[in-house]
Amino acid sequence: MNETKRTFWDERAQLNETAGTNDFMLKNMEKELLLRRVKPGASVLDIGCGNGSTLIALAGQLGCTGLGLDFSESMLDLARAAAEAGLDKILAFRHCGVQNLPQDLGLFDCAITERCLINLDSEAEQHTAFSSIMLHLRPGGRYFMIEGSIDGFHRLNEQRALFGLEPIGPPWHNLLFNEEAVRGWASAECVLEEIDSFASTYYLLSRVVYARLAQDSGEPLRYDSPINTIACKLPAHGDYGPTRLWVWRRA
């Protein structure tokens, strides 16, 4: 990962709770999703852990042990500080890039990423990182891959166009997945069990319905608007927006 992106994430660390994304509503949805998916007491490898909030929640609420990896030392400083209240005995954080995971990490019950691989510079690098992550799972272990899809962005923009809204695109530092290409990563050893568009309703209501209402009223956009708050609590319908969960199992 290039130094420009490293500098970007080091600077983002100054935002603390919103260091990983400005959309804290979406981040909370991701965290709640993983709290439902990860088994209590599991050992967790969190790649691109950022400020450590997800791994800390898994440890505090489910009794998970874990190792968080990030290539930003500033992010790791936040994670270590947040985990000091007793959790430092069951959690560790280590400076490491996703492209070259050390062999001495060991094996884990599950691995997670939240919008991590989309920070890499090519599809080849993303696939290499995916393959390396899968090798650090125990047989039967699962990789909960919360990443971004460019196809989902296109579907969202189709809906925005129906409401007379301008298209939106991914951040400059993201290379979003091609969904067909990701399905091609499946093999006898790496089983794709499920794709969950868990944030679809949230994206449709927040980026289309609320965006148009705010535009008509001249209201400044807020992530925690009443509509967005309700959208977070609704079941997922459709397949809109970039963020989704791919569930992989190591055979």
- What's this model's pTM, rounded to 2 decimal places? 0.95
pLDDT value of position 99: 82
Residue 50 covered by a domain = yes
Print burial letters for 96-129: b (CB count within 10 Å at least 16), e (below 16): bbbeebeeebeebbbbbbbbbbbbbeeeebbbbb
pLDDT in tens, 208-223: 999 999 999 999 999 9
Residue 104 covered by a domain = yes
| Domain residue limits at 70 | 3-149+171-199+241-250
Residue 204 covered by a domain = no
125 vs 136: CA distance, rounded Å: 17
Residue 28 covered by a domain = yes
pLDDT value of position 13: 80
48 vs 122: CA distance, rounded Å: 17
Q: Total structural domains in the chain?
A: 1
Reference 49, options 23, 25, 74, 22; nearest CA is 74
In single-letter form, the type of residue at position 146 comes to I
CA 150-179-201 angle, 5° bins? 65
Residue 125 covered by a domain = yes
Given the DSSP bridges, would you call strands 65-70 and 43-47 parallel, antiparallel or unpaired?
parallel
Residue 40 covered by a domain = yes
CB 216 within 8 A of CB 125: no
* 79-88, 121-130, 177-186, range with the lowest pLDDT: 79-88
pLDDT value of position 1: 56
Task: Report the side by side order of strands in the sheet with 65-70.
Answer: 91-95, 65-70, 43-47, 108-114, 137-148, 243-250, 190-196
23 vs 202: CA distance, rounded Å: 11
Residue 154 covered by a domain = no
Residue 83 covered by a domain = yes
pLDDT in tens, 114-157: 999 999 999 999 999 999 999 999 999 999 999 999 999 999 99
**CATH number for the domain including 87?**
3.40.50.150
